[in-house]
């Protein structure tokens, strides 16, 4: 079954850290770039980060650059998002998403997980 399953969300205090995981199955994880996309409650979608299929290159939204780190373990078919120095404005559902193509870097998102909620609050 082709799917992505996020985990690791929860409530954290401002300034705290959290690591999200995304377990992939049903496709050759090691050949696809992967993204994190978030959605604040009642708001639109915001792209957060991308990592190439081999982990050799990453991109970040300005809003998280220097605080968040995306990584992957292809031996475990798992994507990660390490989030440090969390702020109230980071409160959102975080989705991992598979890139549509193996050929071009960071295109569109053709498979999404169900998301994990991160709440930053004291």
Partner 1 sequence: EIVLTQSPATLSLSPGERATLSCRASQSVSNYLAWYQQKPGQAPRLLIYDASNRATGIPARFSGSGSGTDFTLTISSLEPEDFAVYYCQQRSNWPRTFGQGTKLEIK
- What is the closest distance, in whole angstroms, from the C-beta atom of residue 49 to partner 1 in the complex? 9
Which structure tokens are listed for 69? 């780190």
Write down the least CB distance from residue 48 to partner 1, Å. Answer: 9
CB of 114 to partner 1, least distance (A): 6
Question: Should residue 61 be labelled a site residue for partner 1 when binding is judged by CB under 8 A?
Answer: yes
CA quadruple 92, 93, 98, 100: dihedral sign: negative
| 89 scored as a contact of partner 1 (CB under 8 A) | no
Restricting to residues 28-47, name those near partner 1 by CB under 8 A.
35, 44-47
Q: How far is the CB of 36 from partner 1 (least distance, A)?
A: 11
Q: What are phi and psi of 88, to 5 degrees?
A: -60, -35
Rounded to whole angstroms, the Cα distance separating 82 from 112 reads 19
With binding defined as CB under 8 A, does residue 59 bind partner 1? yes
Counting contacts by CB under 8 A, is residue 115 touching partner 1? yes
Beta-bridge partners for 94: 38, 116
Q: Does 107 engage in binding with partner 1 (CB under 8 A)?
A: yes
Query: What does the alpha-carbon distance between residue 51 and residue 69 come to, in Å, rounded to a whole number?
Result: 10
Distance CA 34, CA 106 (A): 8
Residue in the block written with tokens 């980071």: 90
Contact residues for partner 1 (CB under 8 A)? 35, 44-47, 50, 59-62, 95, 100, 106-110, 112-115
């Amino acid at each position: 079954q082709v799917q992505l399953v996020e985990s690791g969300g929860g409530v954290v205090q401002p300034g705290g850290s959290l690591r999200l995981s995304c377990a992939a199955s049903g496709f050759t994880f090691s050949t696809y770039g992967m993204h994190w996309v978030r959605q604040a409650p009642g708001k639109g979608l915001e792209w957060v980060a991308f990592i190439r299929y081999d982990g050799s290159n990453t991109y970040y939204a300005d809003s998280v650059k220097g605080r968040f780190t995306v990584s992957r373990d292809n031996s475990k078919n798992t994507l990660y998002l390490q989030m440090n120095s969390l702020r109230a404005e980071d409160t959102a559902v975080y989705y991992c998403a598979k890139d549509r193509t193996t050929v071009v870097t960071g295109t569109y998102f053709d498979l999404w997980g169900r998301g994990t909620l991160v709440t930053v609050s004291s």
